[in-house]
């Protein structure tokens, strides 16, 4: 059985309370770090662990921490990104709801490592009930001397605040999140300066995903090397994967990175296969922004090797035949699903969520949505398909933040792998309204 470093105790009755959490080894990392380690030593362990940002980008957390500017007399902040909004992703919600103290413990240990004395958890407004859970847990942590002045007699002070968003996907982008946390519209900032130099209120700031911060707890407890011993290559440790779509058992799973995709989709310990005895048609393995994979590229790479749940293996083949681990939002499509409809759906999402700041994204996402709408509804032309590819190229790389890329990639990938299905919608519009295309053929060269 795979090791669980994060959610092992999620089902323990009362684990959301300080007392029960403490009994199960909770806050050990705070004691260890504050009493026996320097902040630099904590950063060093995180570097050794190989932990990569669990929000989607996969940037090494320890390296991100080491970029934090530390000018004399200027306050620094740790901000937790709990604005989980990437379609297909609901792992942070699970973690915070079941184990609020794990996030708080991670926030304390990480804030200590960064020298932050005022830290914030920015949680999406729709998760108001989880905000209440976190508020209660924070109050308990204060009452037990884990937050506030002179924590555990170490001389280290920390205040922790949880605050809600208002419903905007873009606020998951770290500079938009900072803007929002300052009480403004969530328009991403130009970089540089990076938040590590000028972030919240102009102070050096680290923004980390919920799961990344939680992972610091086992890393400090067991050491960075022990964490790095789990996984393959540069994909170390465990990862929460949230699965949705047409699966027998969708939900949140903690996996050791390196598990095969085959085992993950079909194994008894995981998703147990496609629901209703249907066949797999496609999979979006890392949240709606990452390229979709057709059935023949899900469990095997184009080279014929087993596809694994790692950053490297899911990206194997680049965008031609691979995808990304992303946020771990694993969306599975059965044979009855319409790829054109789904692509339109996701395009509508990005058009709705574009902040409007950059023209290529503001105009391009809406334009793609309109073109996909007419393709899906039987009014498209073959030129529309190439038009989509054109718009795509004009958005990608031409915007301040990655939302533009996130909107462009899924459309490009859907056309790349499912062009026949798109063309069928144009050539047989009547038929396309009454039945689904079904499984696509494996191309001869694949």
Task: Verify binding: residue 234, other proteins, rule CB under 8 A.
Answer: no
Q: Quick one: which of 126, 312, 384, 405 contacts other proteins (CB under 8 A)?
A: 126
Q: Quick one: which of 40, 41, 157, 182 contacts other proteins (CB under 8 A)?
A: 182
Q: Quick one: which of 17, 66, 163, 428 contacts other proteins (CB under 8 A)?
A: 163
* Rg of the chain on CA atoms, in Å: 22
Contacts of 268 (CB under 8 A, 6+ apart): none
DSSP tag of 268: T
Task: Verify binding: residue 235, other proteins, rule CB under 8 A.
Answer: no
Site for other proteins in 99-118 (CB under 8 A): 118
Least distance (Å) from other proteins to the CB of residue 35?
Answer: 28
Q: Closer to other proteins at the Cβ: 45 or 83?
A: 83
Q: Quick one: which of 205, 243, 313, 354 contacts other proteins (CB under 8 A)?
A: 243
Q: Closer to other proteins at the Cβ: 33 or 130?
A: 130
Task: Verify binding: residue 352, other proteins, rule CB under 8 A.
Answer: yes
Classified as helix, coil or strand, 416 is helix
Q: Quick one: which of 17, 66, 244, 428 contacts other proteins (CB under 8 A)?
A: 244
Ramachandran angles phi, psi of 46, nearest 5°: -65, -40
Q: Closer to other proteins at the Cβ: 104 or 230?
A: 104
Q: Which of 59, 399, 56, 396 is nearest to 196 (CA)?
A: 59
Contacts of 415 (CB under 8 A, 6+ apart): 385, 388, 389, 422
Which value, to the nearest 10 degrees, does the dihedral of the CA atoms of residues 214, 220, 225, 231 take?
-10
DSSP tag of 48: H
Q: Quick one: which of 110, 342, 357, 392 contacts other proteins (CB under 8 A)?
A: 342
Instruction: Show the site string, 302-341: x = touches other proteins by CB under 8 A, - = not.
Output: ---------------------------x-x-x---x---x
Task: Verify binding: residue 279, other proteins, rule CB under 8 A.
Answer: no
CA distance 329 to 86: 8
Asked if omega into 292 is within 30° of 0 (cis), the reply is no
Query: Exposed (0-12), middle (13-18) or buried (19+): which is 434, by Cβ within 10 Å?
Result: exposed
Asked if omega into 193 is within 30° of 0 (cis), the reply is yes
Residue pair 384/426 in contact (Cβ under 8 Å)? The answer is yes
Task: Verify binding: residue 85, other proteins, rule CB under 8 A.
Answer: yes
Q: Quick one: which of 45, 173, 316, 353 contacts other proteins (CB under 8 A)?
A: 353
Q: Quick one: which of 26, 100, 165, 188 contacts other proteins (CB under 8 A)?
A: 165
Residues in the site for other proteins, rule: CB under 8 A?
84-90, 92-93, 118, 124-129, 161, 163-169, 180-186, 201, 242-246, 250-252, 284, 288, 329, 331, 333, 337, 341-342, 345-346, 349, 352-353, 355
């Amino acid at each position: 059985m795979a090791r669980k470093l994060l959610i092992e105790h999620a089902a323990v009755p009362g684990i959301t309370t300080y007392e029960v959490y403490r009994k199960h080894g909770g806050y050990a990392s705070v004691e260890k770090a504050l009493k026996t380690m320097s902040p630099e030593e904590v950063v060093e362990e995180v570097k050794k662990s190989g932990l990569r940002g669990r929000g989607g980008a996969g940037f090494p957390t320890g390296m991100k921490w080491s970029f934090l500017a530390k000018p004399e007399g200027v306050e620094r902040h740790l901000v937790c990104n709990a604005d989980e909004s990437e379609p297909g992703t609901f792992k942070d919600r699970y973690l915070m709801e079941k184990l609020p103290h794990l996030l708080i413990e991670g926030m304390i240990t990480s804030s200590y490592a960064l020298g932050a004395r005022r830290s914030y958890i920015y949680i999406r407004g729709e998760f108001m009930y989880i905000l209440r859970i976190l508020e209660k847990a924070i109050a308990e942590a204060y009452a037990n001397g884990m937050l506030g002045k002179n924590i555990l007699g170490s001389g280290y002070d920390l205040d922790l605040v949880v605050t809600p968003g208002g419903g905007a996907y873009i606020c998951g982008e770290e500079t938009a999140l900072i803007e929002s946390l300052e009480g403004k519209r969530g328009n991403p900032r130009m970089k540089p300066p990076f938040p590590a130099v000028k972030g919240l209120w102009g102070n050096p700031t680290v923004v980390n995903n919920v799961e990344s911060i939680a992972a610091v707890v086992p890393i400090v407890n067991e050491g960075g090397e022990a964490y790095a011993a789990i996984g393959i290559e540069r994909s170390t440790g465990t990862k929460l994967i949230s699965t949705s779509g047409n699966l027998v058992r969708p939900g949140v799973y903690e996996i050791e990175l390196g598990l095969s995709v085959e085992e993950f989709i079909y194994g008894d310990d995981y998703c147990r296969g496609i629901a209703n005895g249907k066949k797999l048609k496609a999979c979006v393995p890392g949240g709606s922004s990452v390229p979709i994979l057709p059935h023949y590229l899900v469990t095997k790479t184009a080279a014929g090797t087993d596809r694994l749940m790692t950053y490297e293996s899911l990206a194997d083949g680049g965008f031609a035949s691979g995808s990304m681990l992303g946020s771990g939002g694993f969306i599975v499509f059965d044979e009855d699903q319409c790829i054109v409809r789904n692509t339109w759906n996701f395009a509508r999402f990005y058009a709705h969520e574009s902040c409007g700041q950059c023209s290529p994204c503001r105009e391009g996402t809406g334009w793609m949505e309109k073109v996909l709408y007419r393709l899906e509804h039987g009014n498209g032309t073959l030129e529309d398909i190439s038009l989509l590819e054109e718009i795509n190229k004009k958005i990608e790389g031409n915007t301040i933040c990655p939302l533009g890329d996130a909107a462009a990639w899924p459309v490009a990938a859907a056309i790349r792998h499912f062009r026949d299905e798109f063309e069928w919608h144009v050539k047989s519009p009547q038929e396309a309204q009454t039945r689904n295309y079904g499984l696509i053929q494996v191309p001869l060269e694949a």
